[in-house]
Amino acid sequence: MRLKIVQTGEPVLREPARPLTPKEILSADIQRLIADMRDTMRDAPGVGLAAPQIGLGHQLAVIEDREDLLKAVSPDELADKERTGVAFHVIVNPRITPVGDEKIEFFEGCLSVAGFMAAVARAHRVRVECLDENAKPRVIEASGWYARILQHEIDHLNGTLYIDRMHPRSFTTLDNYSRHWRSKPTTK
110 touches Zn ion by CB under 5 A: yes
Strands 60-65 and 86-98: antiparallel
Distance CA 34, CA 94 (A): 16
Distance CA 155, CA 113 (A): 14
Query: CB of 103: closest distance to Zn ion in angstroms?
Result: 19
Q: Binders of Zn ion among 127-146, rule CB under 5 A?
A: none
Kindly report the backbone phi and psi dihedral angles of residue 82, in degrees, each rounded to the nearest multiple of 5, phi listed first. Answer: 50, 50
Q: Considering beta carbons, is residue 33 or 149 the nearer one to Zn ion? A: 149
Considering 64, 108, 133, 153, which one is annotated as catalytic?
Answer: 153
Span from 84-92, 102-110, 123-131, 136-144 in contact with Zn ion (CB under 5 A): 102-110
Query: CB of 6: closest distance to Zn ion in angstroms?
Result: 11
Q: Binders of Zn ion among 16-55, rule CB under 5 A?
A: none
CB 96 within 8 A of CB 127: yes
Question: Residue with CB nearest Zn ion?
Answer: 110
Kindly report the backbone phi and psi dihedral angles of residue 141, in degrees, each rounded to the nearest multiple of 5, phi listed first. Answer: -110, 125
Note if 153 is an active site residue.
yes
| CA nearest to 61, candidates 99, 39, 94 | 94
Query: CB of 76: closest distance to Zn ion in angstroms?
Result: 25
Span from 15-23, 89-97, 108-116, 169-177 in contact with Zn ion (CB under 5 A): 108-116
Distance CA 146, CA 165 (A): 18
120 touches Zn ion by CB under 5 A: no
Active site residues: 153
Provide the binding-site residues for Zn ion, judged by CB under 5 A: 110
